[in-house]
Amino acid sequence: MPNHHSKTQNKENTNPTNTPTTSRHDTKWTTFIHTSPQIRKIINLFKRTNIKIALKCNDTIAQPLKPANNTNPHTPYDRSGIYSLTCCTCQQAYVGQTTRSLKLRYQEHTRSTRNNNPTSAYALHILQNRHGYGPMNTTMNLLKPLNTPSLLTPYELFFIQSFHKEGKLVSEQNPAENNPLVQLVIDPSHETPT
Ligand SMILES: [Zn+2]
């Protein structure tokens, strides 16, 4: 059965820093665990209502886990830096940066999705398209571990551009296409002729 999380949502909405990027005040989001083909029938029942549905992929279709690195006491999810989050449904990815741990960022993204309060392009993608978000160990990837805050944005732009060029970036994320510096880093053939 749908779970509206309305209590949490109301609490979140009193916080001015959590204002959603789009105004969809009439829309309620709700989350289903994506386990049964009957879910599509249920979704159809909601089509004519103002309730949108976020799907969560089942852990049983998880991809193979990466081998554990025993020489490092920390997992990639304990580190900071640039990460990608891949949509379970369309396999398009979102690129983000964090000065804290990836684990904390993952929790924030999924909380924002479950609470129907999209505070990132990733949550917006999942909710708008009724796509599925998945477990951290199969959908989140550490692209570049970084401990220097000033390097986060340049690297984030670089990876956003790379994903965009390969057609793997969610359309909700701005690829900053006109940044000549990033273009130069990715494709040196863009150099100005001498
Ligand atoms: Zn998707």
More confident residue, 122 or 20: 122
User: CA-CA-CA-CA torsion for 141, 121, 5, 54, nearest 10 degrees?
Assistant: -80
Q: Specify whether the CB–CB gap between 140 and 102 falls below 8 A.
A: yes
Near ion ligand 1, which residues have CB within 5 Å? 87, 89-90, 131
Query: Six-digit token pair at 79?
Result: 């580190």
Ligand 1 centroid vs 113 CA: distance in angstroms?
13
Ligand 1 centroid vs 169 CA: distance in angstroms?
10
Residue spans of beta strands (DSSP E) within the chain: 28-34, 51-57, 81-86, 93-98, 132-133, 140-145
More confident residue, 126 or 37: 126
Ligand 1 centroid vs 97 CA: distance in angstroms?
20
Indicate the burial class of 15 (C-beta count within 10 angstroms; 0-12, 13-18, 19 or more): exposed
Domain that holds residue 160: 27-59+78-190
Ligand 1 centroid vs 171 CA: distance in angstroms?
9
Q: Where are the alpha helices (DSSP H) in 35-140?
A: 38-46, 102-114, 121-129, 136-139
**Domain containing residue 179: CATH number:** 3.40.1440.10
The pTM of the full predicted model, rounded to 2 decimals, is: 0.60
Question: Does 169 fall in a domain?
Answer: yes
Tell me the mean pLDDT in the region 115-134: 93
Q: Is the pLDDT of residue 129 over 80?
A: yes
Question: Does 16 fall in a domain?
Answer: no
Query: Six-digit token pair at 193?
Result: 């002729």
- pLDDT tens profile 6-60: 444 444 444 444 444 444 456 666 655 555 555 566 556 556 555 566 677 765 5
